[in-house]
Amino acid sequence: MILGHNGQKITEDFYVHPVPDDLIQAHTSVLSRGDVLLPSSGNAARQRPTKYLLKLAIQEQPNWRELGRRYQMTDAGVRKMAKRYGLLDVYYESLQGSCERSAIQ
């Protein structure tokens, strides 16, 4: 009211901005739970797997989370890369094969 705005949202939009320390604090809690994978070395660029290497890794271990850990990516990132490479069929075939092998044992 003192500033002459119609509502609180207008004041927030103009005057409230995140401070870098606040952002770090907000993300630290997520990192401490282990929900986010950090690159092992600071600013070094992560190497993305080639189509061939990703295909072999999928056939060896059809698990998005484990593949994400292997390549220091999120599981969604690995899925997107597999989709871009056209490897989703390989994943589902490998997953079906691993289920059949475990059922036989």
| pLDDT 10s digits, 82-94 | 999 999 998 988 8
The two tokens of residue 93 are 């075939």
Report if pTM > 0.75: no
Mean pLDDT of 59-65: 89
* Rounded Cα–Cα distance for residues 95 and 50 (Å): 21
Give the pLDDT score at 24.
65
Residue with tokens 């289920």: 99
Mean pLDDT of 47-59: 88
Residue 74 CA to chain centroid, in angstroms? 2
